Amino acid sequence: MDKHLICLDLDGTLLNDEKVITTKTKNILLQLKALGHEIMISTGRPYRASQIYYQELGMTTPIVNFNGAFVHHPTDMTFKTHHTPLDLDVAHEIFKKIPELNIKNIIAEIKDHVYLHYHDEILFEGFSMGNPQILSGDLVKAIQEGPTSILIQAEEIEIPNIYKHLDEVYAEHLEHRRWGAPYPVIEIVQKGINKAVGIEIAKDYLNIDRKNIIAFGDEDNDYEMIKYAGTGVAMGNAIRELKAVADCVTASNNEDGIGQFLEEYFNL
């Protein structure tokens, strides 16, 4: 069988609700790796919050972080890192709209630096994985280079109005996606950036045909990746819209959905 590239979203996909890789899925992925196939992570998380899983699976591939805004290779220093930040002026304009749009908080990340507009112990804890530098304060003053991504936290009732503003004012400059639990968050990255962009960079580096890419996801930030892959697989717990465009639907992240699918696909 041709070498395949298996692309794995983390939260709600590779990880169960306890944020661990289940034994069955891990063993099958390692078995496929031993057979010569490639496995990689494609996530909205920064590298510092995905490194533990990269190392657990002994990966030797590039990794897609921030939904494609940052693509690098942790072990091959000859790999050209791709970092596509947001425009600084656009970011500052968004920060200035915090009171007008009833935004609870904004988190801006520049690679492994985290900036919170308002200090929040819960958010602070949520973004502390990997021990990044975390600062709180006026983001217009604090941030002097284009952020890798921006996260907007708001009450559910305010989300449609924020979407409307982003679409009307910044449609040519940015992409925005929705996070689910534990609280409503809108993620913003540079226009044209998504997981499929990062995977294409990785598959060219690995010299793997697009038809031999298998991708797993569960949320709307996986949409382009699922459509791009030769075989796009939605988890059983995925949103309805993703299941509609996927080639296949497997069991949930708590039921070894990845392991079950790959076991059958590769006839292990």
In the three-class reduction of DSSP (H, G, I as helix; E, B as strand; rest coil), residue 156 is classed as helix
> Of 190, 208, 227, which marks where a domain is finished?
190
User: What pLDDT, in 10s, does the model give residues 130-141?
Assistant: 677 787 888 999
What's the half-sphere exposure (Cβ side, CA atoms, 13 Å) at 153? 16
> Of 190, 218, 238, which marks where a domain is finished?
190
- The strand pairing partners of 6, in sequence order, are 39, 214
Cis-peptide into 132, omega within 30 deg: no
DSSP string, 65-100: EGGGTEEE-SS-TTS--EE-PPPHHHHHHHHHTTTT
Query: Residue type for 212, please?
Result: N
Give CA–CA dist 152/4, Å, rounded: 36
Same domain, residue pair 131 and 176 = yes
Same domain, residue pair 98 and 64 = no
CATH number of the domain to which 160 belongs: 3.30.1240.10
Give CA–CA dist 75/54, Å, rounded: 11
Same domain, residue pair 92 and 67 = no
CA dihedral 219, 184, 96, 107 (to 10 degrees): -70
In the three-class reduction of DSSP (H, G, I as helix; E, B as strand; rest coil), residue 12 is classed as coil
Same domain, residue pair 75 and 102 = no
Count the helices and strands in the chain (H runs, E runs).
10, 14
Domain span at residue 130 reads: 88-190
Residues 6 or more apart from 47 whose CB is under 8 A from it? 54, 63, 65, 70, 72, 74, 112, 130
Same domain, residue pair 149 and 77 = no
Give residue 119's pLDDT.
76
DSSP string, 163-221: HHHHHHHHTTTEEEEEE-TTS-EEEEEETT--HHHHHHHHHHHHT--GGGEEEEE-SGG
Cα–Cα nearest to 239, from 218, 215, 258, 256: 218
Give residue 194's pLDDT.
95
Same domain, residue pair 119 and 242 = no
Residues 6 or more apart from 138 whose CB is under 8 A from it? 95, 117
Same domain, residue pair 32 and 51 = yes
Same domain, residue pair 201 and 258 = yes
How many domains does the chain divide into?
Answer: 2
Cα–Cα nearest to 43, from 209, 189, 172: 189
89 is catalytic: no
> Of 170, 190, 210, which marks where a domain is finished?
190
Same domain, residue pair 92 and 168 = yes
Same domain, residue pair 96 and 52 = no
Give residue 251's pLDDT.
97
Give CA–CA dist 196/68, Å, rounded: 7
Cα–Cα nearest to 36, from 207, 198, 197: 207
pTM above 0.85, yes or no: yes
Same domain, residue pair 45 and 139 = no
**Which regions of the chain are under pLDDT 50?**
none
Q: Tokens 């298998």 sit at which residue?
A: 214
Identified catalytic residue from 2, 9, 222, 256: 9
CATH number of the domain to which 250 belongs: 3.40.50.1000
Same domain, residue pair 75 and 197 = yes
Give residue 121's pLDDT.
63
Residues 6 or more apart from 171 whose CB is under 8 A from it? none
